[in-house]
A and B are shown apart, each in its own frame.
Chain A
Amino acid sequence: MSFISYLINGLSLGSVYAIIALGYTMVYGIAKMLNFAHGDIIMVGAYIALMSMTQAGLPPFAAVLAAVVGCTVLGVLIERIAYKPLRNASSSLAVLITAIGVSYLLQNLALLIFGANTQTFSSVIEWKGVTLADGAMSISGVTIVTIVVCIIIMAVLVTFVQKSKPGQAMRAVSEDKGAAQLMGINVNGTIALTFAIGSALAAVAGVLLCSAYPSLTPYTGAMPGIKAFVAAVFGGIGSIQGAFIGGLLLGIIEILGRAYISSQMADALVFAVLIIVLLVKPTGILGKQIQEKV
């Protein structure tokens, strides 16, 4: 029984990673940049939700909405101010370092505003969950909601990217910016939209993450950010389905590793699995193999 509940907890944590990784992978696919500040958007989202509930007294639903709106605006602003000017820089490292700068900026802003103390996050999900097998196993409401939300987001995103006009524009821009421009696609707008979606997802992930693990500090987003990045690479960066699978697997491996091996080694295990996957399949589980033309 305990194995199954670990597995479900793993799925739940994995769902959070998957939601973050979806944002990561979309941004990478379109802007070809590792957005190191993505993890910190999670943290900002969680703070906005928490403040909306405790300071402004908003109901949980409105608090989540506030977080999503706030992060969307923040994500688009960051792209405009810090990343866009470097889009055609001679080295791709330039925008990577700028993203690191943005990450420091968000962390230290949060530090100034909210202080370094750990704040206790009050869950946005009031449902207690279900008890199965005559009380031998209980699954919390947060766990179930997280998994369900993740599946819905994934389904909506896939449909959006495949079917809708802006979604097709996204795929075109990620394939070839120049050609997309010539076809009359608004490249800047499409990239901004991608950052908006990615940041909105990060806000949702932040709220869900802190509802399940209720301690919030300015550094809360950093490690999940890195893990989600690993998940995105794991699944094949640029692939939405890949990010989903990568996130879930990562969450399960981490929780099972923590339960059966050691809590200190769980992170090492996650990274070790990543290494093994990439050595067997150098572009991730669902990644495309790109051959250099001679």
Chain B
Amino acid sequence: MAALLDVKNLGISFGGLRAVNGFDISIEKEQLYGLIGPNGAGKTTVFNLLTGVYKPDAGKVILDGQDITGKKTIDISKAGIARTFQNIRLFSKLSVLDNVKVGLHNKHHYSTIEGILRLHGYRKVEKEMNEQAMELLKVFDLADHADYLASNLPYGQQRRLEIARALATEPKLLLLDEPAAGMNPNETGELMEMIQFVREKFHMTILLIEHDMKLVSGICEKLTVLNFGEVLAQGDTASVLNDPQVITAYLGE
């Protein structure tokens, strides 16, 4: 079976610095895949390359048979990649519900005129959007806070809302950038369960960047280790984590 995401030889330079070089990754459908590496290894840069924030100067990105190399962020979103951010990026002055509804933007349409004149299309589609958004919020245990301002949510819930918003775009591939950052062990545990639940419920393929080794080894099936912008090791979680090279580079000593 062809991989859902197939990346070959991806690379980018900033000034003289080769931030990512010869990056390969292949992710199967419904796989939970981890991308790890020391600080500054280029993990977030890989995410930015995959989502079109940066344009790669080398390599190819194939998503579900479609070449999305160098496309614009919004086209990549439409092609089916959604993401969260290391430093949470919510629409802070919109309600929790509206944050998710912005995620649904490209899945539901009515014209500007219909919206301003409140015609039938507006009422029908808004109703659908409300229902679908509430469904998602329920999954993430946020339904009770639907009319809170996003910025008023506590930290852990903001992280969950960001995932809900990403899922609202109905992606094929979900990229999570350090979802457990700033969480205590308890919250991390809940997050692990939730990520697994999301994969099962939505049949989602997930690539995540993470520092928390417990989380990575607990839920990821495969790992890629990045060091100085290049792939250091790749394969099943257990074997990668036991690779002496990885231990030296990443875990120290």
Residues of A within 8 A of B (CB): 294
Minimum CB–CB distance from B83 to chain A (whole Å) comes to 10
Minimum CB–CB distance from A117 to chain B (whole Å) comes to 49
User: Considering the chains assembled together, what is the distance between the CA atoms of A294 and B44 in angstroms?
Assistant: 8
Note all chain A residues with C-beta closer than 8 A to B228. Answer: none
Nearest B residue (CB) for A292: B53
User: Considering the chains assembled together, what is the distance between the CA atoms of A294 and B54 in angstroms?
Assistant: 10
Note all chain A residues with C-beta closer than 8 A to B85. Answer: 294
Nearest A residue (CB) for B53: A294
User: Considering the chains assembled together, what is the distance between the CA atoms of A294 and B53 in angstroms?
Assistant: 8
Q: Does B48 contact A (CB under 8 A)?
A: yes
Minimum CB–CB distance from A92 to chain B (whole Å) comes to 16
Note all chain B residues with C-beta closer than 8 A to A294. Answer: 44, 48, 53, 85
| A interface secondary structure, majority | loop
Q: How many residues of B contact A (CB 8 A)?
A: 4
Q: Provide 4 A-B residue pairs closer than 8 Å at the C-beta atoms, listed in order of the A residue.
A: A294-B44, A294-B48, A294-B53, A294-B85
Residues of B within 8 A of A (CB): 44, 48, 53, 85
User: Considering the chains assembled together, what is the distance between the CA atoms of A294 and B43 in angstroms?
Assistant: 12
User: Considering the chains assembled together, what is the distance between the CA atoms of A280 and B48 in angstroms?
Assistant: 26
Minimum CB–CB distance from A240 to chain B (whole Å) comes to 26
Minimum CB–CB distance from A292 to chain B (whole Å) comes to 10
User: Considering the chains assembled together, what is the distance between the CA atoms of A286 and B53 in angstroms?
Assistant: 26
Minimum CB–CB distance from B193 to chain A (whole Å) comes to 28
User: Considering the chains assembled together, what is the distance between the CA atoms of A294 and B83 in angstroms?
Assistant: 12
Minimum CB–CB distance from B73 to chain A (whole Å) comes to 10
Minimum CB–CB distance from A90 to chain B (whole Å) comes to 11
Minimum CB–CB distance from B124 to chain A (whole Å) comes to 36
User: Considering the chains assembled together, what is the distance between the CA atoms of A294 and B85 in angstroms?
Assistant: 8
Minimum CB–CB distance from A88 to chain B (whole Å) comes to 18
Minimum CB–CB distance from B27 to chain A (whole Å) comes to 21
Which A-B residue pairs are the 3 nearest by beta carbons?
A294-B53, A294-B48, A294-B85
Nearest A residue (CB) for B51: A294
Nearest A residue (CB) for B85: A294
User: Considering the chains assembled together, what is the distance between the CA atoms of A294 and B177 in angstroms?
Assistant: 11
Nearest A residue (CB) for B44: A294
Note all chain A residues with C-beta closer than 8 A to B44. Answer: 294
Minimum CB–CB distance from B23 to chain A (whole Å) comes to 17
Minimum CB–CB distance from A294 to chain B (whole Å) comes to 5
User: Considering the chains assembled together, what is the distance between the CA atoms of A182 and B48 in angstroms?
Assistant: 33
Nearest A residue (CB) for B86: A294
User: Considering the chains assembled together, what is the distance between the CA atoms of A294 and B48 in angstroms?
Assistant: 8
Minimum CB–CB distance from B15 to chain A (whole Å) comes to 12
Minimum CB–CB distance from B54 to chain A (whole Å) comes to 8
Note all chain A residues with C-beta closer than 8 A to B53. Answer: 294
Note all chain A residues with C-beta closer than 8 A to B48. Answer: 294
Nearest A residue (CB) for B89: A294
User: Considering the chains assembled together, what is the distance between the CA atoms of A294 and B45 in angstroms?
Assistant: 9
Nearest B residue (CB) for A293: B87
User: Considering the chains assembled together, what is the distance between the CA atoms of A203 and B53 in angstroms?
Assistant: 47
User: Considering the chains assembled together, what is the distance between the CA atoms of A2 and B44 in angstroms?
Assistant: 61
Minimum CB–CB distance from A210 to chain B (whole Å) comes to 47
Nearest A residue (CB) for B45: A294
Minimum CB–CB distance from B13 to chain A (whole Å) comes to 15
User: Considering the chains assembled together, what is the distance between the CA atoms of A250 and B48 in angstroms?
Assistant: 41
